[in-house]
């Protein structure tokens, strides 16, 4: 049996001829990155554990979360990282550079076949050039900075083959929203997905970046797109190296193969709350908006800027509507200047900011307020992710057209006169609790306690630990914010007791790669989390923190409810409903998980 792309890349970086799904291997990481959020925590982990940076030449800081340095805590963290970079000879791409994952591609720091990690859950964007990129928590990144390698579980591989011709109006954002509509938030959970077919082969690098950037929103480990001559030439020119693609063997095994017809794809938009909740744009044409946003790692490329400019040229943004535009990198910003695109944006009444992640991070250009309706090119619209209002996800063309119309519309349906709207009062949200509890790590291989049943799928890390608290580095302070953005559980931290167990549904911990979404439960003294399945990054973060997590796809068979007492055996995977003695088996600790658990976390000892 041959190997898939991900199997070939991982095998080569593990010094093995062959690997297969579920193998746990140790892989070398070619490129190692920390951002301005998470970066300070990486530094803190290294210093607290007296660890040094193994290979500074492979190690980078990228400041893209708060490129304005406008927040005091971000500014302090950025300065801490700058000092650490100087002390250790680490290259730092500062607040004027742009989005880290794009810089890695454009500066040739990652090429086809490489492995790379970042404290960015969209590091898998590197699949756009056929490289293996992963977002990881700050503890994971610190260990990799110190040792240059880490353990990894070989994922299952899935192939999506798209044939035929795209309709002329279909953009890369439409393509990925169609994929979200087809596969949802967890069908591809934990899979390495190869996107192939003649329709995919024709896509530009910018289009591939858009599609690869939203693999995270489908909980896929990565979308790997085999690079053609255009992409290989670009990467070779940027890196100064002859780039050779890693391609799957003809007899490679895939867990599933999906065939799709490009002509069936339609212009789509994601409704507020969940990226996968997409509908044809025509279904909500006329929805009044307050603002538009064009940018993010998903749609901040040059093609996106040109598409928006083509619509905005000789037009004005509707009265009362705010349009914010943020190019992905400094080079793209300068190219917009050279091509006159910035002038078009300014004349249309748009606000253009310096490059960076923008609206995806709290406190930046692109955030919205309570009651505000935004149409955005971002990759996520979880409640609270891009602000406190409603966020629709769409292509740059739809955002630009909607900003001119004053309501959601398609480019060919822009009216002669924009719509007028009435301002609505902002919504109020409950304050978070101030309770804070901590607990010493329990090294027993059996946990017994009362459960909190949170019978929901796809609970993301913004619901667990909101991004407005990401500047907190004191782990003891994190507990009081646990589930603070999960409707119905805002008072969880106040009512949870040390020794409680969380039982939940599929894809727990989807979304960002933040370590705090694990550490907040450790601070509260939660014994463990049992879920039908976990998002890959979250599961890694929990394992590396020494925090017990157990997957059990058939968990519902136990008939549990909040307050039920259960017993969880990490050694065997046995889960027992103590009240009726019914039992079921989940996934027992792997040798790696067991070792890290008893060590008290991945950083407690050198690997």
Whether the per-residue pLDDT at 433 is higher than 80: the answer is: no
Confidence of residue 271 (pLDDT cuts 50, 70, 90): very high
Nearest CA among 325, 342, 365, 355 for reference residue 103? 355
Q: What is the pLDDT of residue 442?
A: 47
Question: What are 63-122's pLDDT values in tens digits?
Answer: 998 877 667 788 889 999 999 999 999 999 999 999 999 999 999 999 999 999 999 999
In a shared domain, residues 236 and 281: no
Question: What are 119-155's pLDDT values in tens digits?
Answer: 999 999 999 999 999 999 999 999 999 999 999 999 9
Confidence of residue 177 (pLDDT cuts 50, 70, 90): very high
Tell me if residue 438 falls in helix, strand or coil. coil
Residue 15 CA, distance from chain mean position: 29
What does the alpha-carbon distance between residue 495 and residue 466 come to, in Å, rounded to a whole number? 19
Q: What is the pLDDT of residue 434?
A: 41
Is there a contact between 500 and 482 (Cβ–Cβ < 8 Å)? no
Is there a contact between 453 and 562 (Cβ–Cβ < 8 Å)? yes
Domain region containing 571: 446-599
Between 512 and 205, where is the model more confident? 205
In a shared domain, residues 241 and 300: no
Between 413 and 362, where is the model more confident? 413
Confidence of residue 468 (pLDDT cuts 50, 70, 90): confident
CATH number of the domain where residue 16 is located: 3.30.499.10
Q: What is the pLDDT of residue 382?
A: 83
Is there a contact between 402 and 394 (Cβ–Cβ < 8 Å)? yes
Question: What are 490-534's pLDDT values in tens digits?
Answer: 999 999 999 999 999 999 999 989 999 999 999 999 999 999 999
Whether the per-residue pLDDT at 45 is higher than 70: the answer is: yes
In a shared domain, residues 401 and 493: no
In a shared domain, residues 168 and 118: yes
Confidence of residue 428 (pLDDT cuts 50, 70, 90): low
Q: Where are the alpha helices (DSSP H) in 89-171?
A: 100-106, 138-147
In a shared domain, residues 378 and 338: yes
Residue 431 lies in a domain: no
In a shared domain, residues 462 and 499: yes
Q: What is the pLDDT of residue 423?
A: 52
Residue finishing a domain among 248, 264, 280: 264
What does the alpha-carbon distance between residue 45 and residue 79 come to, in Å, rounded to a whole number? 17
Confidence of residue 606 (pLDDT cuts 50, 70, 90): very low
Question: In this structure, what are the phi and psi dihedrals at residue 567, rounded to the nearest 5 degrees?
Answer: -125, 130
Q: What is the pLDDT of residue 65?
A: 86
In a shared domain, residues 257 and 278: no
Q: Where are the alpha helices (DSSP H) in 23-90?
A: 39-48, 72-88
Nearest CA among 550, 565, 541, 374 for reference residue 465? 541
In a shared domain, residues 184 and 306: no
Question: In this structure, what are the phi and psi dihedrals at residue 192, rounded to the nearest 5 degrees?
Answer: -90, 120
Question: What are 277-287's pLDDT values in tens digits?
Answer: 999 999 999 99
Question: What are 101-113's pLDDT values in tens digits?
Answer: 999 999 999 999 9
Share of the chain above pLDDT 90, in %: 86
Number of other CB atoms surrounding residue 303 within 10 Å: 18
Share of the chain above pLDDT 70, in %: 95
Residue finishing a domain among 206, 237, 264: 264
Residue finishing a domain among 393, 413, 433: 413
First CA to last CA across the chain, in angstroms?
32
Q: What is the pLDDT of residue 363?
A: 58
Q: What is the mean pLDDT of residues 365-372?
A: 86
In a shared domain, residues 236 and 339: no
The number of distinct structural domains making up the chain is: 3
In a shared domain, residues 255 and 272: no
Task: Indicate the helix (H) or strand (E) that contains 577.
Answer: strand 574-577
Whether the per-residue pLDDT at 420 is higher than 50: the answer is: yes
In a shared domain, residues 277 and 206: no
Whether the per-residue pLDDT at 437 is higher than 70: the answer is: no
pTM for this structure? Answer: 0.85
């Amino acid at each position: 049996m041959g190997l898939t792309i991900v199997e070939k890349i991982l095998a080569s970086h593990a010094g093995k001829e062959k690997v297969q799904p579920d193998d746990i291997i140790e892989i070398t990481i070619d490129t190692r990155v920390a951002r301005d959020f998470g970066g300070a925590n990486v530094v803190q982990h290294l210093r607290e554990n007296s660890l040094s940076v193994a290979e500074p030449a492979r190690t980078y800081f990228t400041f893209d979360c708060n490129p304005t340095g406008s927040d005091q805590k971000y500014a302090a963290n950025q300065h801490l990282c700058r000092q650490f970079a100087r002390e250790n000879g680490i290259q730092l791409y500062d607040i004027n550079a742009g989005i880290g994952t794009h810089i890695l591609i454009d500066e040739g720091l990652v090429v086809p076949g490489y492995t790379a990690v970042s404290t960015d859950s969209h590091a898998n964007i590197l699949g756009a050039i056929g490289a293996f990129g992963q977002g990881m928590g700050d503890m994971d990144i610190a260990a990799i900075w110190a040792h240059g390698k880490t353990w990894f579980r070989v994922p299952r591989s899935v192939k999506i083959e798209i044939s035929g011709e795209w309709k002329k109006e279909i953009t890369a954002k439409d393509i990925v929203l169609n994929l979200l509509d087809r596969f949802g938030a967890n069908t591809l959970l934990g899979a390495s997905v190869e996107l192939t077919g003649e329709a995919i082969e024709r896509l530009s690098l910018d289009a591939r970046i858009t599609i690869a950037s939203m693999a995270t929103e489908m909980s896929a480990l990565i979308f790997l797109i085999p690079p053609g001559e255009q992409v290989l030439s670009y990467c070779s020119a940027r890196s100064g190296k002859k780039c050779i693609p890693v391609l799957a063997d003809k007899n490679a095994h895939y867990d599933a193969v999906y065939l799709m017809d490009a002509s069936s794809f339609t212009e789509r938009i994601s409704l507020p709350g969940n990226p996968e909740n997409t509908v044809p744009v025509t279904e909500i044409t006329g929805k009044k908006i307050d603002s538009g946003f064009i940018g993010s790692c998903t749609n901040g490329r040059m093609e996106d800027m040109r598409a928006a400019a083509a619509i905005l040229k000789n037009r004005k943004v509707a009265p009362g509507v705010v349009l914010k535009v943020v190019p992905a990198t400094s080079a793209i910003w300068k190219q917009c200047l050279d091509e006159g695109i910035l002038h078009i944006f300014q004349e249309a009444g748009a606000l253009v900011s310096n490059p960076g992640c923008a609206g995806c991070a709290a406190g930046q250009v692109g955030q919205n307020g309570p009651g505000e309706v935004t149409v955005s090119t971002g990759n996520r619209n979880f409640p609270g992710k891009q602000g406190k209002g409603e966020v629709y996800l769409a292509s740059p063309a739809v955002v630009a057209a909607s900003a001119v119309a004053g309501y959601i519309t398609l480019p060919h349906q822009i009216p002669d006169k924009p719509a007028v709207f009435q301002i609505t009062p902002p919504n109020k949200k409950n304050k978070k609790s101030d309770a804070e509890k901590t607990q010493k790590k329990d090294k027993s291989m059996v946990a017994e306690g009362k459960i909190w049943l949170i019978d929901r799928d796809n609970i993301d890390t913004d619901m667990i630990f909101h991004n407005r608290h990401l500047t907190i580095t004191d782990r003891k302070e994190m507990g009081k914010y646990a589930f603070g953005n999960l409707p119905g559980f805002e008072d969880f931290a106040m009512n949870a007791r040390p020794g409680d167990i969380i039982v939940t549904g599929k894809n727990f911990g989807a979304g960002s790669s933040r370590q705090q979404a694990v550490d907040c439960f450790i601070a509260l003294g939660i014994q463990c989390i049992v879920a039908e399945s976990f998002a890959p990054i979250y599961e890694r973060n929990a394992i590396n923190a020494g925090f017990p997590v157990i997957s059990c796809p058939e968990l519902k068979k136990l008939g549990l409810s909040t307050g039920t007492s259960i017993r969880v055996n990490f050694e065997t995977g046995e889960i027992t409903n103590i009240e009726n003695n019914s039992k079921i088996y989940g996934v027992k600790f792997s040798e790696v998980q067991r070792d890290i658990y008893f060590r008290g976390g991945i950083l407690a000892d050198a690997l």
